[in-house]
């Protein structure tokens, strides 16, 4: 039975029912948004919301370092016998043999602003992503079933699937009436566009970037293809049996419906992963053209569907306008880094407006990229920190980073495909700029996008960043941001750890100045960096002179690394330059603060062992050049200003790299004992 032969009441009932199902989906989205709302409010309170929206340039004004050295008179190096030491004797004074630190009794550090005034600690508000009574479910929900889908994602998609099935078959016989399934296909068009929009409204409400919701976009898109084909082939089969197919298909509304169906199937065909990865430009072109034709065909097929088309185009138009607002065309310098097999892009005219961990989409406007190279746009994580949060200039130009300031935005583009290879070769053929190989080009920058969303890394008690290969861009931006916030007293972190896996040990050389500088700047909260190389080599460089730095062959023991981060988060974090004796409150003791006596007595060495639980690993293992554990807990001045008795707020684990790396990190987090996860306030994972 053709659409024009279906009783009006039946069509109206199908339209009303499907519309109500859409309202139910919107209600579920609203409930999730309300659940995630506290995290967004907490982010608003930390002023993180000011960044991450519009790229801009702010004047670079270097100021004095937000910390100063406080030299204390070393009247005695004896270990005091009681916490109430005589006047002039600091109750933490111990011999160097006992402390195992670098000149601990000679100097401490204090946070100060640009005018030299002491900085008051401003602990950011922490909101856990999961309530404590549901933490036991996280290990299961994070388990990967496929390379790209976890158990939680599969449950979400299956729930969505059954909602659509219910909307299709409830009080409707799919083998007799084909109108309902057509309404279901059309009613999902606004949703499929909303899930894919770069400026994602749903992502903003939920605290996720568009790339995190793309798996829902792909699923709903396939559901639309299936529903539209069921609707169309049902009518085609019926017309063929009655011998009226030619007559029916010539009718304008049916012809436009067939046209929309063909465009929809073409769009799906060129969206397959095989095609998308090999001819990405064709995928983009067909996606845009077919989407426009589908909107036209559906609107002319049934006038009743115009409202859904208008809603779809409104969402698409809003995203398009916001993308134009976020677009900048400016000059950039590209430099080849052969050691890392990547191209470094420096954009000095953009130095603010993003959060650590976000990425931009970039287009190279140069004939050196080929006839159609300008048409390709690729995403890259920002490796530098915005100048709005950075008071210092960039580090080495040959290093991985820059702190925002002088160098502005820094991107590192790994040579993995044709486009990135052409970019690398074009950078190699350039001349010299500022004493290094480089070339000036014009770039189209759009963003920023993605990032940690509602998660505030500085609000956790400990942070572990795991990077694989070029994923170090994400690690550098996050670590720089956390170190700068720590210098300004705007973090709860007690420990920061960066784990980087590379194939060739030589890849470390260009970034070594940046990594060393970050370790030297982390004078309050200790930063530990471990680099693991997987390719055998005959010459292994020595980095044993760098405190809190590990360089070793083989894959890292991620479960042990995460477990140590949990242990440090549970630590007291005693701060040693305050001569007063503090007593721990009962809340801190119940939360798992260990290793501190109420009087504050005991040697520094004893407290380090009890607090950090790092008695193992002080002996070299022979694998590479290792600087281990307890002896270097406070190396480089890693002391804290005041005794830290705030609540334990969990551990954040960030990962960026190959899919298998993300799977390994999830497994490592799941291996942590449930009781320890609860004591530390939970372990959350952010995968970039």
pLDDT digits (tens, 9 = 90+) for 365-413: 988 887 777 888 899 999 988 875 444 433 334 444 444 445 789 999 9
pLDDT of residue 60: 66
Collect the ranges in the chain with pLDDT lower than 50.
Answer: 1-4, 70-107, 389-405, 572-644
Nearest to 653 by CA among 673, 640, 667: 667
pLDDT of residue 540: 63
Give CA–CA dist 160/165, Å, rounded.
9
Give CA–CA dist 673/570, Å, rounded.
14
Fold that domain 327-388+407-449 belongs to in CATH: Elongation Factor Tu (Ef-tu); domain 3 (2.40.30)
pLDDT of residue 430: 75
Q: Under DSSP, is residue 147 helix (H, G, I), strand (E, B) or coil?
A: coil
Q: Under DSSP, is residue 613 helix (H, G, I), strand (E, B) or coil?
A: coil
pLDDT of residue 41: 85
Which helix H or strand E contains 562, and what residues bound it? helix 558-569
pLDDT tens sequence across 605-617? 333 333 333 333 3
Give CA–CA dist 359/361, Å, rounded.
7
Q: How far from 400 is each of 378, 384, 424, 464, 470, CA to CA, in Å?
A: 20, 8, 16, 19, 11
Could you please report the per-residue DSSP string of 230-278?
HHHHHHHHHHHHHT-HHHHHTSHHHHHHHHHHHHHHHHHHTTSHHHHHH
pLDDT of residue 63: 54
Give CA–CA dist 656/452, Å, rounded.
12
Q: What is the CATH number of domain 457-573+647-687?
A: 3.40.50.80
Alpha helix (H) residue ranges in 468-511: 472-487
pLDDT of residue 541: 66
Tell me the torsion sign for CA atoms 468, 474, 476, 480: negative
Could you please report the per-residue DSSP string of 340-363?
TTEEEEEETT--BS--TT-EEEEE
Residues 360, 54 contacting (CB under 8 angstroms): no
pLDDT of residue 76: 35
Domain ranges of the chain: 8-52+132-323, 327-388+407-449, 457-573+647-687
Q: Under DSSP, is residue 385 helix (H, G, I), strand (E, B) or coil?
A: coil
């Amino acid at each position: 039975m053709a659409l024009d032969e279906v009783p009006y009441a039946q069509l109206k009932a199908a339209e009303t029912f499907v519309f109500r199902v859409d309202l139910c989906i919107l209600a579920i989205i609203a409930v999730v948004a309300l659940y995630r709302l506290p995290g967004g409010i907490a982010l608003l309170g930390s002023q993180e919301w000011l960044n991450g929206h519009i790229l801009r340039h702010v004047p670079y004004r270097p100021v004095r370092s937000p910390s100063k050295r406080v030299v204390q008179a070393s009247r005695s190096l004896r270990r005091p016998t009681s916490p109430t030491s005589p006047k002039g004797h600091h109750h933490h004074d111990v011999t160097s043999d006992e402390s195992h630190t670098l000149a601990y009794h000679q100097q401490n550090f204090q946070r100060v602003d640009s005018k030299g005034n002491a900085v008051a600690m401003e602990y950011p508000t922490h909101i856990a992503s999961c309530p404590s009574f549901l933490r036991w479910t996280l290990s299961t929900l994070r388990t990967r079933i496929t390379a790209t889908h976890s158990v939680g994602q599969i449950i979400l998609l299956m729930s969505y699937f059954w909602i659509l099935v219910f909307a299709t078959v409830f009080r409707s016989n799919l083998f007799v009436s084909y109108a309902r399934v057509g309404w279901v296909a059309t009613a999902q068009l606004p949703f499929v566009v909303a899930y894919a929009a770069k400026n994602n409204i749903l992502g903003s409400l939920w605290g996720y970037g568009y790339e995190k919701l793309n798996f829902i976009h792909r699923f709903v898109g396939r559901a639309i293809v299936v529903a539209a084909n069921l609707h169309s082939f049902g009518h085609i089969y019926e017309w063929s049996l009655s011998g009226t197919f030619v007559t029916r298909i010539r009718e304008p509304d049916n012809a436009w419906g067939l046209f929309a169906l063909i465009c929809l199937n073409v769009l799906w065909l060129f969206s397959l992963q095989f095609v998308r990865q090999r001819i990405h430009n064709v995928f983009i072109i067909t996606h845009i053209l077919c989407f426009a034709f589908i909107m036209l065909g559906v609107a002319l097929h049934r006038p009743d569907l115009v409202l859904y088309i208008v809603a779809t185009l409104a969402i698409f138009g809003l995203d398009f306008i916001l993308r134009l607002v976020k677009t900048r065309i400016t000059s950039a310098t590209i430099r080849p880094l052969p050691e890392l097999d990547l191209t470094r892009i420096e954009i000095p005219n953009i130095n603010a407006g993003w959060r650590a961990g976000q990425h931009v989409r970039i287009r190279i406007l140069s004939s050196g990229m080929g006839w159609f190279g300008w048409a390709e746009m690729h995403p890259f994580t920002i490796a530098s920190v915005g100048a709005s949060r950075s008071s210092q200039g960039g580090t080495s130009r040959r290093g991985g980073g820059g702190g925002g300031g002088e160098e502005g935005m820094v991107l590192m583009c790994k040579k993995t495909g044709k486009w990135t290879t052409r970019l690398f070769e074009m950078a190699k053929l350039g001349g010299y700029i500022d004493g290094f190989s480089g070339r000036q080009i014009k770039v189209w920058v759009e963003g920023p996008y993605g990032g940690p969303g509602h998660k505030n890394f500085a609000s956790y008690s400990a942070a572990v960043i795991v990077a694989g290969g070029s994923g170090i861009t994400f690690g550098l931006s996050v670590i720089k941001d956390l170190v700068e916030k720590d210098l300004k007293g705007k973090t709860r972190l007690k420990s920061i750890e960066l784990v980087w896996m590379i194939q060739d040990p030589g890849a470390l050389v260009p970034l070594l100045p940046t990594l060393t500088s970050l370790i030297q700047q982390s004078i309050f909260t200790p930063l530990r960096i471990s680099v693991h190389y997987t390719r055998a080599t005959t010459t292994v460089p020595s980095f044993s002179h760098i405190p809190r730095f590990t360089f070793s062959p083989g894959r890292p023991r991620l479960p042990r690394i995460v477990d140590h981060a949990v242990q440090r988060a549970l630590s007291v974090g005693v701060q040693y330059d305050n001569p007063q004796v503090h007593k721990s409150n009962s809340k801190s003791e119940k939360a798992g603060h260990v290793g501190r006596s109420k009087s504050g007595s005991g040697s520094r060495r004893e407290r380090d062992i009890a607090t950090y639980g790092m008695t193992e690993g002080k002996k070299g293992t022979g694998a590479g050049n290792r600087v281990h554990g307890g002896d270097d807990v406070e190396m480089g001045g890693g002391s804290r200003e005041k005794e830290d008795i705030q609540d334990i707020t969990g551990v954040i684990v960030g990962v960026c790299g190959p899919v298998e790396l993300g799977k390994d990190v999830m497994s490592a987090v799941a291996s942590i004992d449930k009781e320890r996860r609860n004591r530390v306030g939970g372990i959350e994972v952010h995968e970039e």
